[in-house]
Every structure is written in structure tokens, then in C-alpha cells.
Structure 1
Amino acid sequence: MQKIVKVSSWVVLWGILLSVAGCSKESEKKTSRPNILFIMSDDHAYQAISAYSNQLLETPNIDRLAKEGMLFTNASVTNSICAPSRATILTGKHTHINGKTDNISPFDTTQMTFPQLFQKAGYQTAMFGKLHFGNNPKGVDDFMILPGQGHYINPDFITPRGDTTITGYVTDIITDLSLEWLDKKRDPEKPFLLMYLHKAPHRPWWPRVDKFKEFTKKTFPLPETLFDDYSNRGTAAKKAEMNLLHHMEYSHDSKIWPETLEAMGRVEPVVNNTQANIYNEFNRANAEQKQQYKPIIDAINEDFKANWAGKSDRDKMIWKYQRYMQDYLGSISSVDDNVGRVLDYLDKNGLTDNTIVVYTSDQGFYLGEHGWFDKRFIYDESFKTPLLIRWPHEIKPGTTQEEMVQNLDFAQTLLEAAQIAAPEDMQGESLMPLLKGMENTWKREAVYYHYYEYPSVHMVKRHYGIVTKDYKLAHFYYDVDEWELYDRKKDPKELNNVYDDPEYAELVKELQEKLKGLREKYKDSEDLDKHYLDRYLNRSGAKK
């Protein structure tokens, strides 16, 4: 005989309520908006991240983002220069649309930025470090930003409460400020958007004293193209002024005292000084800091004074390259250490699981390739940028992504992740399909690039172009009218312009047509080229 068990109605009701509450809580957990930690360094070359290549430096903390997330191998910028790149990131628009085509023109503050949209949607927002333009960033609840380029030693900061100077090394300080905000100022009831923006490793590449001491003892492998003669390329490569031997400054860049140079007389090759000398940074140090730095700099100067005149031009080039790498990579080593501090904080405070972490740079950078330093060109070392994204439970750990993406896409990607509608006039594509492993829905085959700041420092000519996984077509204009085509698979170092090669004639026509289509899609034109040229020449005082 079956036993019948009677259960009171209140017990059943209580069970239903618990079940509903549990489902509701689980649903809330699944739909909770992620925190965003956006990390950007200035002029950080992808070649100087060991997740891309460990020939120069180990970056174990930045590498964590690749191991635990996604590494992009074809990430690029729309305009390889600091302030325009940052304007593109903030607005999700090409520079000819947001108006910030060069470092001279002011940022159009009527432009909507993605932090404003996050703030409006209930996110708590903050920005610490280098913005490069504007004294009052829009859309952030709290900020401490460097004025302009900022300084490495005892940097000044612009804050909502007035300007201040903080004693210490800039990379450590920016991290301290970010961690303090996370730990003491953040509202745990709100999701956050934190923009953690390093000045390093921007010129003049000034390491913290312990890294300075460590890295001046290191020697680095030479790039294969260090002595490139540009024989199979156009006028632009031949005329650019970013050669290590002929354009990198002895004092400002290589840390030679002006007194050393004066005592040596005429130092060959003669380099025109366009920047301040070593004292621009050194004199910001207090007495204790100077005492720590001076013996290291003196040792560099003693070697220079004793050996420079006897070196061949080849050996001088190598000496300058090694000095450059010692300082540049020493600066990055501190960035990596500090990224580790922030990632450890997320782990220890239970924030990792629901935080998207992005690491990128405002553009790529030359580390001696083709004999160059700086950026600006559509060529890979300048055009490509590091991009690593970690999003636990959404991105498969250890994923490498080869699709063509740009800094143009960051705003729309982060907005979609936060369930915030993006304005229709943004021009990027959300990377969400790639982050979630749905590459088959990704339609982009090519990206568009346009550089404007000429004539100016480094004298890289104006140009625009189209880049696919396999090819790169660029048009240099204004005082020249030249086209360049590179086969990215056969010639990854971009040494041979095949634009006039008959074998590529049909491809040239096809790419030129696609380039025309991209210019129309992104609302660029010859009229805008002329408009921005005239505006630039008028503002810069350059001769037409």
C-alpha cells in the first residue's frame, strides 16, 4: 500500500519562493555588467612584449593577459601618433571625423566619448596617467592626469582639486593612484571603468634608477634591418628623419651631459637638437634622486667620451641602438611590474572574474628596425599595436586572434560588453564576436589608415592606405604623389615596394578600388585632405 505524505501549503510556498529567488539571483549574476580596466602605455611596441616575442624582454605580467585571455596579432591604429590615436579610442571615430588629425589641433570637446556613456549608464569612472590633451577629461568622476607629455621624475598632475606634484617615479605613481582609487574611492555597489594610462615608454625613455642601473649592463640583439638603405622603397622612407645615428639626440635621448659634448668639441655625426637636453628630466630630481642617478649617467658619459671618436659609423649606430634599448626596455620593465601589481589587486579582492582587462598602446614604435625610432608610418612596426584582452568565462584562455582590428573598435566593444548602446556615428566594429569565438560572423577584410602631421618633427610624409592580412597599399601625397604596395606574406619586413611590378598590376587595381570604397565608407575625401592640410599649415606655421 502506497504511503501518502501530506506537506503543508506554507512549506510548498516557501520552497517555490526560494527557488524563484535562487533563479533570480543566478540571472542577476549572469547579466551583471562587467568592470572595465583599460590599460594603455605610450609608444609600447608589440616587439617589446614577450607574448609577441621574447627576443628583447620578458614581460610576465602583461603576458598573463595573453595566457588567460586573447592576444591579437593584427591589431592596428588609424593614425600612428599620440593624441590623434587617443581621440580615436575615446570617440570610436577616425581622426578626420573627430577632428584630432595631429598633435597641434585641439580636441573637439563636443565629441561624445565612451567614458561619458559609461558614466551616464551608472558606471563609476576614473582616469589616471597620460591623456595628452585636455585638462578636464569628460565622463570621469575622478582623475589625475599629466599635463601634456608629463615627466618621469617627480611628475606634475592636473586634478579636479587643482594641480599637484608628486615625488617619485611616474609609472609607480600612476599605479599608486589607480590602486588607491580601487581600494578607497570605488563604490563596490557600482561597476567601474578605470582608465590606467602610462606615460612610459615615451621619449626620452627614462627608467627608474634601479632599472637604469640594471639595463645599462645589458646588450640586446640587433634588428635584421638596422642598416636598411631604403633602396627598394619610395621617397618617404628615404626622407624621414628618425634614423638612430643621424637623428637621435646625444643628450636628450642617449643621456650625454652637455658638458661632455662641449669638452669633446665637434661630435660626429652632427645631430640637430630639436628637444631639450638631459637636464630637462634630471633637474626635476631632488638631491637624493640625483645622487642615485648621477653615477650611472657618468659611467655612460665616460664610455662615450673615451670611445666615440674612434668608432666607425656602423659601431656608432650600434652604440646608439644599445643605449636606446637599455632605456626604452628599462622603462617597460617598470610598466610590467606595475601591471602585475594591479592584476594581483584584482585577484586578492575578488574582482578578476567580473573585470575585462585590456592592455594596449596608443600606437606601435620602431625599435631600430629600418634604422629608425619613433612611429607615424603605415609600415608594421608603427602601424601595428599590442592588444591583449582578458575576460574570464567569456574569452577562452590562451587564444590568438589574427583578424584585422583597430583602436577604432575599442569604444564599441567595451560599450557592448557593458550593455550600453553605442551612438550610430561611431565607425568601429565591436570585437565581441571575436572575443566569444564567433569568427565566422566577422566580416572585415581590410582596415583604413591616414597620417597627417607633415611637415613636422621626423618629416614623415602624409599618406593614407588600405591594409589586409596579405597586402598593404599606401598613397603618399602633398609634396609627392607616390604609391607603395607590400606583399605582407612574402615580404613581412616590408623591404620591397612592388607597386610597379607587372605581376601585381591587377591586384593594384583591385586594392585601389577597395581603398576608394573605404574612404567613402569612412567619409574621407580629397576635400578633407586639403582642409586638414590648410588647417595644419596655418596652425603650425609651416610653409606651404
Structure 2
Amino acid sequence: MKRFKFSWFIACMALIGQSLGVLAQSNTKEKKPNIIFIYADDLRFDGIGINGNQHIITPMLDRIAEKSVRFNQANVVFSLCSPSRAALLTGRYGSANGVLELGSDLNDGEITIAQYLKKAGYHTGMSGKWHIGKEPKAVGFDFSVFFRSNGTYYGRTINDEGTVAKVEKHCDLYCAERSMDFIKEAAKNEAPFFLFHNTQLPHMNGELIWDARQETKKKYETSKMPVAANRMDDLSGKPEYLKSVRNLSQAKVYGYPDSLAIQKHTLDYYSVITEMDEYLGLLFQTIEDLGLKQNTYVFFMSDNGWMLGEHGFTSKVLPYQPSTKVPLFVIGPDLVPVDLDQMVVNIDIAPTILELAGVGLPDNFHGNSLLPLLKGESLDWRDAFVYEGLGTYGGALPNLTVINKDFRYIETYENRSLEKVIFREFYDQNKDPLEVNNLMDSAEIDEKVNAAQELINAHKTNILNQ
């Protein structure tokens, strides 16, 4: 009898051991999610149809966005190519990571999400526009196919895995195809992958032209292109320096504020966005064809907005809504399509991606993970953030701006010391979304201004002076 009990005990322990072994093996083989981040260039919030634009043609992005978590209050912390990329890659403001100007480089010791993910076992790839000093492989990318800064759409010099050559086809089409190659190869391996895909479009080419194909342009009619209602703004409620800033002088070269000139320009802008949509469609189709949707998260965002005649301006950089607000949506295997109105920014992307990948978050991030919002969790979230307009592109003066769903408060400074405020602006985003009426003389806003100034002072203390 005792021998039977002992044999039964040994058999049970063996079964338990086998079960634990299978469970451990299953956990070991459980693959982390693949992550793809697509960063468009100069795409304003309403640059895709799903964001309320009935005139633009973006069928692929609209189709994907319909199945995504969509953030309707997404902004960047500085509206310029290089700083925006650096902020996204590091999860930190430009004043901390070192990138406040075009082409400037990350400070020594800055770590990118690619480096964190690579250390965690991810195969990392980068394709498309690159606009910071160090090359992609120096900041954690195993695979890199890139062109620097701005330039021609066709005949662009591209560094393809160390081989540099002029590529005759559209640079975005070439890089979309190379991103497809990366995905196909990475999908064969056990390791999860991270792809950072950056478009040139809808950024202008090197001659400051939106050079779309004629057949694309024919899809649009000039007379149906929208015109900014505040295109004739005399800037009387804004800083004096804006009357000589590049945003205004270059707009006049384009023929602004004439409505027909703006419509013709908008047609060109919309046309290259339609071509971007076409090229990105190839990337999304590859994801579907390879059956990766069940374990792949795809983010789509823009590095900054773009002004099409608002206040008579063109371009970006300035701390007004068409410049700072961008599209952002995320599609993934367990995400429920929904529109969210939380105030989110591009420095939130790095912590989000790392948390998705199961990587511990460093304590020097300035952004917050969006994962709880993506998962539908209820939590306290910021109602405002500080826009750090400290670069000098186009003659812009330094500013720190508090952007809230309800208001926008701008402090413009005499110089980079940020010691002397030379102008203040306050706009009611609900009653005055065009940001024409500066309410700084109204006593009714004192409480909101004080709260905004507290945020700016905290930013100076906790970020600028660290």
C-alpha cells in the first residue's frame, strides 16, 4: 500500500513537472509585439479625410484610421523637423536632448527608443527621412535606408545600408519598398521588430514646390480648395516681429493672402498627400499579406502641422494651432476603434512603445505612456502641456506656450535667456479657434493665465534648468 502511494506521488510530480515545463516553454516562446511607427512630414491635423476634411483624397489612411484609436488632440512639443524627430526618439524635450535646430545632434548620453528596444531583443529598422546629426545605426537601428533633410523627390541621394546612390524613383516609394523588405525579412525571424518609417511627403521638395504627378493633381479642382477664414489677419494682437518672420515673407512669395493663390497652393499640397497615401498603402498591404496584424501595432503621426494661409502665414514653427496640431492614430490587435480627446504629445510615443514592448521606462522621460488610454482605461490625464518654441528657424523669437483644449497662452521672450517677456497672447480655443482675438486685456482670464504661468515656471525649473 505504501509502495502504491509512493509510485502515485512520483507519477503526479512527473506530470506536474511536464506541465510546468510546457508552461515555461510557452512563456519563453510568447513573442513580443512588432511595432511600426510612421512619421509623416508637415502633415497638418486635417491633412487626412477622416479628420473632417471632405476635400482631400486619402483612402488608405482613412481605412486604417477607421479601425484605430484616434487622438483628436495630438500635438508636437516643437513644430520643426529635427526637434520633432529627436523628441519622439528620446521621449524628451529638445532643450534636454540637444536638438532645437534643423540638423543639430543629440547630446552625448541621449538614448533612443531604438537602443532600448535593441537591448530588449528587437530587430530595429529605420527607413526614409533622417534629420539629426548621428546616423541611424549610431543610435540603435540595425537596418537603415535613409536620405538626409530636404531635397528632390526624384533622383534623391539615398544611403541604403551603407551604399550611397541616386535613386530615380520617388524617394518615398523607394523607402516604402525597402521598409516592406525589412518587414518581410524580419517576419521570418523569431525576434520581434521595430520599424521607424519616415516619409518625405508632404514636405516640399528642394525647390520649395509640392511636385505631384499631373494625374494626381487632376483628381482635385482648384475652386473646391478651402481658404483660411483668417487669411487677412492684420496681426494687430500678435508680436510685432511676426510681420517680418519667414512664415509671412515666404507666404507672400506664394501669393498669399490672395484666395486663389492659396487654393492653387492647397491643391498641390493635397496632391502630394494623396501620393503619400498611395505609397503607404503598399506598406499596410504588406502587413496584411504577411498576417502580421495579430501581433503588430502601427502608429501614424506627423512631425508637425502646416499653415495654409492662417494669419497670412505658411510653414510651421509658430505656436498656433495649424502648426502644432497633428494627426495621430494607433491600430493594434487588441485595440478598440475610438476617438479620444485627451491632450497627447509626441514625447508620449517613446514611453508608449517601450511599455508595449515590456521594457522598463527610464526615469528621465518627459512624456507619459499612452498605453492605458489605448487600452480604454480611465485615468487622470494632463489637460495642458508646454510647447517649447526655443529654436530660431525663420526668425522666430523664443516662446513657451501652454496648450490646453480650452485655451492657448503664449509668452514670447526677448532672447534665449527667457528672462524678459516682450509679448503675451491668450486665445479661447472654443470661441476663437482661429486664434484672432488676443484676450490678454480681459480680467476674466486671469485665473487661467496664472495657471498657465505656473506650468511654464515648472517647465523652466524641472526641464530647462536641469
- Same fold flag (TM > 0.5): yes
State the distance in 1 between where 2:34 and 2:105 align.
31
Whether the 8 Å CA contact 2:103–2:133 is kept in 1: the answer is no
**1:118-267 correspondence to structure 2 within 5 Å:** 118-134=117-133, 136-137=135-136, 138-184=139-185, 187-203=188-204, 204-215=209-220, 219-243=224-248, 247-248=250-251
The equivalent residue for 1:471 is 407
The equivalent residue for 1:341 is 282
Specify which of 324, 331, 334 is matched with residue 265 of structure 2.
324
The equivalent residue for 1:309 is none
Letter in 1 for 2:460: R
The equivalent residue for 1:300 is none
1:364–1:14 CA distance, 2 compared to 1 (3 A): same
State the distance in 2 between where 1:392 and 1:118 align.
20
The equivalent residue for 2:396 is 460
State the distance in 2 between where 1:110 and 1:167 align.
38
1:150 CA drift (Å): 3.5
Q: Percent identity?
A: 29
State the distance in 2 between where 1:124 and 1:446 align.
35
The equivalent residue for 1:487 is 428
State the distance in 2 between where 1:162 and 1:131 align.
16
For the pair shown, which has the larger CA radius of gyration, 1 or 2? 1
1:9–1:73 CA distance, 2 compared to 1 (3 A): same
The equivalent residue for 2:70 is 71
State the distance in 2 between where 1:348 and 1:118 align.
25
State the distance in 1 between where 2:150 and 2:61 align.
23
Q: Is structure 2 residue 313 aligned with structure 1 residue 372?
A: yes
Whether the 8 Å CA contact 2:104–2:132 is kept in 1: the answer is no
Q: TM-score, normalised by structure 2?
A: 0.88
The equivalent residue for 1:449 is 387
Q: Which runs of 5+ in 2 are unaligned?
A: 1-7, 416-420
Q: Is structure 2 residue 57 aligned with structure 1 residue 58?
A: yes
State the distance in 2 between where 1:189 and 1:501 align.
62
Q: Is structure 2 residue 445 aligned with structure 1 residue 507?
A: no
The equivalent residue for 1:307 is none
The equivalent residue for 2:372 is 433
Whether the 8 Å CA contact 1:216–1:327 is kept in 2: the answer is no
State the distance in 2 between where 1:333 and 1:218 align.
18
Letter in 2 for 1:61: M
Whether the 8 Å CA contact 1:69–1:392 is kept in 2: the answer is no
The equivalent residue for 2:4 is none
SS for the counterpart of 1:494 is coil
State the distance in 1 between where 2:308 and 2:294 align.
35
State the distance in 2 between where 1:208 and 1:38 align.
27
Letter in 2 for 1:341: L
1:350–1:186 CA distance, 2 compared to 1 (3 A): closer
Whether the 8 Å CA contact 1:154–1:169 is kept in 2: the answer is yes
State the distance in 1 between where 2:59 and 2:17 align.
48
Listed one character per residue, the Cα deviations across residues 413-448 of structure 1 (whole Å, up to 9, x for unaligned) are 1000000122221211111111111132x3322211
Residue correspondences, number: 448
Q: Is structure 2 residue 347 aligned with structure 1 residue 396?
A: no
1:487 CA drift (Å): 1.4
State the distance in 2 between where 1:365 and 1:108 align.
28
1:248–1:486 CA distance, 2 compared to 1 (3 A): closer
The equivalent residue for 2:357 is 418
1:445–1:248 CA distance, 2 compared to 1 (3 A): closer
State the distance in 1 between where 2:296 and 2:42 align.
25
Quote the RMSD (CA, aligned, Å): 2.8
Whether the 8 Å CA contact 1:215–1:326 is kept in 2: the answer is yes
SS for the counterpart of 1:183 is helix
Whether the 8 Å CA contact 1:215–1:327 is kept in 2: the answer is no
Letter in 2 for 1:191: P
State the distance in 2 between where 1:415 and 1:11 align.
43
State the distance in 2 between where 1:342 and 1:105 align.
30
Letter in 2 for 1:132: H
Whether the 8 Å CA contact 1:169–1:208 is kept in 2: the answer is no
Whether the 8 Å CA contact 2:103–2:132 is kept in 1: the answer is no
Whether the 8 Å CA contact 2:38–2:298 is kept in 1: the answer is yes
State the distance in 2 between where 1:12 and 1:416 align.
39
Letter in 1 for 2:293: T
1:60 CA drift (Å): 2.1
Letter in 2 for 1:189: E
Whether the 8 Å CA contact 2:262–2:309 is kept in 1: the answer is yes
Q: Which runs of 5+ in 1 are unaligned?
A: 1-7, 255-268, 270-312, 529-544
Letter in 2 for 1:80: S
SS for the counterpart of 2:42 is coil
1:89 CA drift (Å): 0.7
State the distance in 2 between where 1:12 and 1:118 align.
41
Listed one character per residue, the Cα deviations across residues 243-288 of structure 1 (whole Å, up to 9, x for unaligned) are 3xx52476xxx6xxxxxxxxxxxxxx8xxxxxxxxxxxxxxxxxxx
1:226 CA drift (Å): 2.2
1:15 CA drift (Å): 8.7
SS for the counterpart of 1:392 is coil
1:173–1:212 CA distance, 2 compared to 1 (3 A): farther
Normalized per residue, which structure has more strand? 2
1:236 CA drift (Å): 4.7
1:21 CA drift (Å): 7.5
